[in-house]
Structure 1
């Protein structure tokens, strides 16, 4: 039995190491999937633009008048590594002809830094399991097999950094709790022995032993406080994730004879004082970056309250207004608990939600003896999971990635249930056929080994492929295409790109020098700025007739400039291939406009939920832009039997149609020449 257990643990560890290797490999493949614009526009787009002086989109969150994002962690976590990369690129390009400033490196390099940070979660889990004597092999395997770690943790989200910081804080607090419990137990044991001692020699010996016990009340206070400040400046929602952890750190030993409210108050005061150095550091760095504080003012000591900016405070002031959050989407209050948790953690999330409602049922039934103690390991994990969930649910804008920091406590607490099932024993007091069926096929250990594992791994595999490679997967490929295209074109040629029904394209991948940078001509000392070469027009999910009018307007203006000032231009349109047939209809129904659209290329795979594929209706050749050639260019037509809906030709046509719609089409828009 022991040999089988050891073999199973070794297998789990081998599988875990393979998944860790896969986590790193998927960074370099690379993953072309695009989860949310924030993964670029809250980090890489701003930092690369500052470091390389590139033409980028600087979002409103980094507006100097009301900044809500701290630059301190991105500066030290991304800007300094990019500075080293720029220095290294000079030598690699000179000696080996390798350019380290291309779109591929710009995508992969920050993700490599993030995947290194992601292993903080694994390390914290291992340390917690060791401290509490828990089996770590299966928990590590569960963590590593989650698509949250394979995809989300490798992206440059502030949520991914928040997850790593929360995991580290959870380990520190857990370690402090078990350390305090051990010291308090030993101290109370020695005090009892001291009271029962009969002679002075024994009392002196016990007193010395009690005095030699390590201090625990303020253990790692400075580290906890600094970590909390960094977490709040990275993302102010860290307050909600860190609050229950800090509360458990403050609560250690309360209720025993050796810890009183005086110790509790002393911990609070020391915690606040320990947080001040980090707080001042973050405020000063942000104030310098956003121009509130300058070296000249610092030198003259002309410093007032207006010279400092507290970005987390601005963040809270903005998000506390429900009208502001409505602009980003309004969601129901139950979305986090009933939808986002299962989306992120599938069966593990369902187990967590069911377990929570079970605890609530026991609390309502006054079964207080079956509830976990507040200062226990289970109490810590439950508060780390559900307190932030319910607090975040009070905000009307909710996204799954907001819950990433609960990953570690969720795995620690509920991962074993993937093997043991929802219930290790019959949970119902009164038996019935339905309850027996529910227990035997859903809740029991036997059903778990049969179904839960399969659902867990298959769902995570599917979501890794979806978010890692398919979802908005053509956007990066589009940017890389134009980065190469711009290199081959003359600097005097203006390139206009119109996009619709896709996410915003990060311009940092284009590697274009900023048109806002003031330059000086060394020959005559005259100041000038570079002319803008690339123009991006993003129209969201605009209706295609309206999109056509926008494209026509841009084309007309560009044509007038080309005639009046001989300004060369190229106009392109990028749109999901699922809209190709409808787009063809819009263009060809406006023959008087004399606008020609010709396909340049298609980027696969790409799926825009704003324009999902049509299961029926669009055929393989639907993206062809010349209607007269459809019958000649589509070989399926030659063998198609229109009378038989189940013919092989028709089935192949529908399958090809569906596959074709998972793409992003790039069109060249030109003025159609008149035929005399």
Structure 2
């Protein structure tokens, strides 16, 4: 399956989008890069709840295996601590890994139809999900790679059911274990496909099934021992179990947002695949029958069914399904539909992959705070949580907001700190932002304070600045920032793109 000129062009566009400073969701930083940078560079920053030793809800093993070589190479061999280089290298690694693994996987999943395989790859590489979500350092992005590899092994076993692939069972066991330790939702994607593989292959090769089970247990034991050591815990850390127990509590999930059970099917999936929703449902009896014999379609049904049980549902949870969706819609390929598909993904690619919340990373890149030994108090307001790892600061203090008895407060805030301090106000109200700024300035009139905010809330910021005892200077501004979280139809200024940084100081 050689690449055509169009495919090479589409891949080039995707790689270009992947190295834009867009910011889709905080987890792309805080479930991977934040932890890795602290481990390899010894800096200080934000500790996500999952990696708090008291919770131990995320495994270090998938992170170390996938990202570890890059971080070790830059930190221990090249001694480079530039976060811009690290961010771009990680995103390029994700993009190229996905393109390569998808290419190989399609050769086994669709082994006898070159046209179908080529068209499927064309749909995959022209998807904005490939360009943006899949290139970012989400655990879902890694989950996609593991899922593709796992379904590929399933396809080989079914296609060669009379052969004894004991070595493939070992590889499969390692993949499944890493998938579970990467995200506890991984079994949802392979539940139904596993039943078909068990029926068509493992019943004929029980010894291979035992090899698979033993490999899963052995790999799990290694992961548990590594995590227990890295968490420095006196008790065994079983990260997937801890994560599962956390997610079984509705009160815990309410901290991250509760959604109706239909959100994945009626909201997230349409955003993910756009016009392809027309073809994802079987149109006749033949398609119904073929769907329930297709590993990729069973993976789609399995994931939607299981993930919809949980009341916390985000679009990125479904991104591993994209390659399988593309296999399905290729059956209904037409030139007109493909043009509509490309148009939809170009629009979404520009919004999500290029401009969405991009002012945050762009500011940290351009201002080069990682080159400064000491910074002032930095207050971030009405923006996604700043990726504190990009400061590369080994003396950083971070405080953020939390709701205590339905009242939003800042955890462990210390107004006496005037250097290397990050305050993440998230989406807090005007009163809390105003009080926070003034409490810092009143404590020490001689110190500067830096405020970061999207231009969509410029009007509210001006209300804070409208004081004769405050002087301010805008030190950085970019129009390359799209804030979709604070739009207000009654205030058209909230639709203005941009991100600003101002320095505040008390005046007599």
TM-score (norm 2): 0.89
Please list, as runs of the form range in 1=range in 2, the aligned pairs for 1:561-600 lying within 5 A after superposition. Answer: 562=446, 569-588=447-466, 590-591=467-468, 594-600=469-475
Cα distance in 2 between the residues matched to 1:372 and 1:338: 24
Please list, as runs of the form range in 1=range in 2, the aligned pairs for 1:32-47 lying within 5 A after superposition. Answer: 32-47=21-36
The structural deviation recorded for 1:388 is: 1.1
The structural deviation recorded for 1:453 is: 2.5
The structural deviation recorded for 1:373 is: 5.9
Cα deviation code 1:393-438 (max 9, x no counterpart): 111000011011212221112223132xxxxxxxxxxxxxxxxxxx
Cα deviation code 1:323-347 (max 9, x no counterpart): 2111110111111111111101111
Q: 2:503 maps to which residue?
A: 668
5+ residue gaps, structure 1: 1-8, 91-99, 184-213, 254-258, 294-305, 363-368, 420-448, 517-530, 563-568, 619-656
The structural deviation recorded for 1:544 is: 2.2
SS in 2 for 1:372: helix
Q: 1:480 maps to which residue?
A: 365
Q: 2:412 maps to which residue?
A: none
Kindly indicate whether the alpha-carbon contact (under 8 Å) linking 2:154 and 2:197 is maintained by their aligned counterparts in 1: yes
Cα deviation code 1:445-470 (max 9, x no counterpart): xxxx43x2232111101111111121
SS in 1 for 2:233: coil
CA 1:596–1:514 in 2, change beyond 3 Å: closer, same or farther? Answer: closer
Deviating 4+ runs (over 6 angstroms): 613-616
Please list, as runs of the form range in 1=range in 2, the aligned pairs for 1:260-659 lying within 5 A after superposition. Answer: 263=204, 268-292=209-233, 306=235, 308-352=236-280, 354-355=281-282, 358=283, 371-372=288-289, 376=293, 378=294, 380-419=295-334, 449-450=335-336, 452-484=337-369, 487=371, 491=373, 494-514=375-395, 533-559=419-445, 562=446, 569-588=447-466, 590-591=467-468, 594-612=469-487, 618=493
The reply to whether residue 234 of structure 1 matches residue 234 of structure 2 is no
SS in 2 for 1:23: helix
Q: 2:5 maps to which residue?
A: 14
Kindly indicate whether the alpha-carbon contact (under 8 Å) linking 1:251 and 1:375 is maintained by their aligned counterparts in 2: no
- Of residues 102-111 and 66-75 in structure 1, the stretch that sits farther from structure 2 once superposed is 102-111
Structure whose CA Rg is larger: 1
Cα distance in 2 between the residues matched to 1:578 and 1:71: 37
Q: 1:80 maps to which residue?
A: 69
Cα distance in 2 between the residues matched to 1:13 and 1:58: 45
SS in 1 for 2:96: helix
Cα deviation code 1:30-82 (max 9, x no counterpart): 31110000001000111011111112211111011221000011112223321
Specify which structure has the bigger relative contact order, considering alpha-carbon pairs within 8 angstroms and separated by 6 or more residues.
Answer: 2
Cα distance in 1 between the residues matched to 2:120 and 2:69: 34
Cα distance in 1 between the residues matched to 2:238 and 2:454: 41
CA 1:494–1:407 in 2, change beyond 3 Å: closer, same or farther? Answer: closer
- Of residues 265-274 and 103-112 in structure 1, the stretch that sits farther from structure 2 once superposed is 265-274
Cα deviation code 1:183-227 (max 9, x no counterpart): 4xxxxxxxxxxxxxxxxxxxxxxxxxxxxxx436x5722222111
Cα distance in 2 between the residues matched to 1:371 and 1:141: 25
CA RMSD of aligned residues (A): 2.6
Cα deviation code 1:16-42 (max 9, x no counterpart): 122223333434xx3111000000100
Cα distance in 2 between the residues matched to 1:245 and 1:43: 29
Q: 1:110 maps to which residue?
A: 90
SS in 2 for 1:497: strand
